[in-house]
Structure 1
Amino acid sequence: MATSRVVLLLRGVNVGGVVVRSTDLRALLADAGLGEVRTVLASGNAIVDADDATAAARTAEAALEAGYGRRIRVLGLELEALARIVASYPFAEDDAHTPYVVLGLDVGVLERLATTETPEDLALVGDALCWSNPTGTTIDSPFGRALTRVGKDSTMTRNLRTLRRIVAAG
């Protein structure tokens, strides 16, 4: 299998959970054998060279657990797959809405979330659930509450602008 650029997204770090500094994350992933590690922003995002995105995520999870003493879930995606998700975001962007992409860590969770009864704009696009949310209401919105109830530990949410920066850094 050919080596490719793989995006590693950490769940629940630097937002009320454990603090994982970019410098520490780069060192930890490099020491775990992942090639050419680059971090993007300070919210648990890294790009590495790897043969397999899922295996890279498992390697990162094991290294993080050894380094921080707790499980930190990691999603691995090939950079091209993330670029396709970003390019396929179906909603108009404006200052009144925050563009989010919800990614599933467990099988079937996005499909369950996509069928929740909420008034927000939701669209299942490949392996992602795109969400256009009125700015400032993320946690209290009907879908935000459904996300906590249905997908609390089995999803991760990233702002579309963050994902664009990750793709650009790749």
Structure 2
Amino acid sequence: MSVSNTDNKFCAFLRGVNVKGTNMKMAEVCSVFERAGMRDVSSVLASGNILFSSEKKAQELKKVLEKVMSEHFSYEAYLFVKSRQEIETICYEIPFENDSQYHIYGFVGVDGVAKTLMSEFYKSKKVVGEKAQLVGCRFYWKVPRGNTLDSEFGKILGRKNLKSFFTSRNINTFEKVLKRM
């Protein structure tokens, strides 16, 4: 009999779900995760945040889940598996004050991607009030509401050559995920 604890709870953050023609029902995604052996599967919002439990390590889970998602939905799946502790860190280390005029994003991805994102941010033309900051190995971005996709950095984030390296979520989404874990 297995007992669920916080050490084996994860969230898979899927890249590019329900945008640009890659549409999925979260109930179907949860079913794919269950068939792959994940337990306690549920979704948070419709943007590809899947909570689950497993005894496996995050790197192994990433490979297994990308494979089954790619096969089931006939697309090249990218996802990033984070533990409850990692999500807590993302939420607790936000470097920006909450401000209703801005969106604040946290990024999850492969090791080292935060420095790449920071470099790209420095090179990009900024809109007024747009900021980015590294905290440890995490990258955060603050952008005025309505400018996320229109800012030069926002366009850089959508480049196809970067899609396998990271995904981002509004900080509010990370907080909702954490509450459900």
Deviations 1:129-166 (A, max 9, x none): 11111110012213213323596312211110011000
The one-letter amino acid of 1:129's match is F
| Partners of 2:15 and 2:78 within 8 A in 1 | yes
The two structures have a TM-score, normalised by structure 2, of 0.84
What is the aligned-residue RMSD (CA, Å)? Answer: 1.9
Q: Is it true that 1:168 corresponds to 2:179 in the alignment?
A: yes
Name which of structure 1's ranges 133-142 and 108-117 shifts more when overlaid on structure 2.
108-117
**2:167 maps to what in 1?**
156
- Equivalent-residue separation in structure 2 for 1:151 and 1:111 (angstroms): 16
Match of 1:103 in 2: 108
Task: Report the equivalent of 1:63.
Answer: 68
Q: CA deviation at 1:122?
A: 0.9
Q: CA deviation at 1:70?
A: 1.6
Q: 1:128 to 1:104 in 2, by over 3 A?
A: same
- In 2, the alpha carbon distance for the partners of 1:143 and 1:64 equals 29
User: Compared with structure 1, are the counterparts of its residues 39 and 127 closer, same or farther at alpha carbon in structure 2 (3 Å cutoff)?
Assistant: farther
| In the alignment, structure 1 residue 23 sits paired with structure 2 residue 27 | yes
For structure 2, which runs of at least 5 residues remain unmatched after alignment?
none
Q: TM-score, normalised by structure 1?
A: 0.89
Q: d(CA) in 1 for partners of 2:72 and 2:15?
A: 16
Q: 1:71 and 1:22 mapped to 2: Cα distance?
A: 17
Letter in 2 for 1:70: Y
Q: Hey, which bits of structure 1, 4+ residues long, moved more than 4 A? A: none
Contact 2:9 2:52 in 1 (8 A): yes
Give, in angstroms, the shift of residue 57 of structure 1.
1.9
SS in 1 for 2:72: helix
Q: One-letter code of the match for 1:25?
A: V
Structure-2 residue corresponding to 1:85: 90
Q: Percent identity?
A: 26
